[in-house]
Amino acid sequence: MSLAVNEQELIARLKAGDNNAFKHLISAYHLKLVIVARAIVGDVFAEDVAQEAWASIYKAIGHFEGRASLSTWMIQIVSNEAKSRLRREKRHSSFGDIDEVRPEVAAENFDGNGHWVNPPAHWDINTPELMLQEDQLRHCIEHTLTILPENQKAVFLLRDVEQRDLDDIAELLSLSEANVRVILHRARLQLMKTINHYQETGEC
Amino acid sequence: MLNCKQFTDLASEHIDHEHTGWKRVEVRLHLIICRHCRRFNRHLDRSRQTGATIAQQVWRSDEGTSDLIFSRIIAAAKNKNDANP
């Protein structure tokens, strides 16, 4: 079930107390809530925070008014739970204050004037549809998504999967917008690097 | 005038339509004259799209995990009710 397509039906089932619908919601969103929690409160407490968020969601779903999408609402809840846990534990965010040095394409790809000396190579598999059909490439991308640093994973999830605005992401993760931009660019560059390597070598 | 290295730093913001005013003009002018940066921009955008599609598919939990989390929610709610009848 796609949340986007069937969201109204899903919400109606959730409000009616349909446990299978709630399990479906957990299946679709638990890992995403953990990713957001981990980015705020760190690895040790993330699962615990996500579990608390689920309890809050279960308790409050009957009063969900639909002013925001279901995913927006759930992500806000886990963000609040994680920030609250962070305050209780009196710990600093694992990545709240990253350096703002811009991510870079390797300097050796450019001459002294900043023009390409090693320009991007042609990709034979050049559309997302074709890339998704290539099993080995899928495997490489899945692996890259797994090993992305937690901050990059969370920002990529919120921006490119959930399509949240950058200022929302900054608020949700307690980051500056400048940091969100840097982190997002790093994640996308890492994915591009993986795909580029596969296009050149046929390997991850 | 923007050079290629500077464009690669700004490419994500261009994809997200974050630029306004003169910066947007500079980026667009650079893309008109530089086919390498047009390719870089295309590759970055397609990497983002492909990565997001795969993330949507793999960042899910299996049925066993969902059942376990749900059973914990129910148990916690029951304990709370028992403690505050």
pLDDT digits (tens, 9 = 90+) for A145-196: 999 999 999 999 999 999 999 999 999 999 999 999 999 999 999 999 999 9
Chain B touched by A154 (CB under 8 Å): no
Neighbours of B75 (CB within 10 A): 10
- Neighbouring residues of B85: CB distance < 8 A, sequence distance ≥ 6: none
Structural domain boundaries of chain A? Answer: 3-89, 107-201
Domain A107-201 CATH class label? mainly alpha
Name the phi and psi angles at A116, rounded to 5.
-60, 130
Closest-approach residue (CA) in chain B for A191: B47
pLDDT tens per residue, range A195-204: 999 999 999 9
Residue B33 to chain A, least CA–CA distance (Å): 12
- Quote the ipTM score: 0.90
Tell me the two tokens of residue A169. Answer: 């992401």
Neighboring chain A residues of B12 at a CB cutoff of 8 Å: 181, 184-185, 188
Closest CA relative to residue A27, chosen from B6, B70, B21 = B70
Structural domain boundaries of chain B? Answer: 4-83
- Is A3-89 a domain of CATH 1.10.1740.10? yes
pLDDT tens per residue, range B15-74: 999 999 999 999 999 999 999 999 999 999 999 999 999 999 999 999 999 999 999 988
**Contacts A–B by Cβ distance under 8 A:** 142
pLDDT tens per residue, range A44-99: 999 999 999 999 999 999 889 888 899 999 999 999 999 999 998 875 555 555 55
Tell me the two tokens of residue B29. Answer: 């002018």
Closest-approach residue (CA) in chain A for B68: A23
Burial class (CB in 10 A: 0-12, 13-18, 19+), B31: middle
Band of residue A105 on the pLDDT scale cut at 50, 70, 90: confident
Domains A3-89 and A107-201 share a fold: no
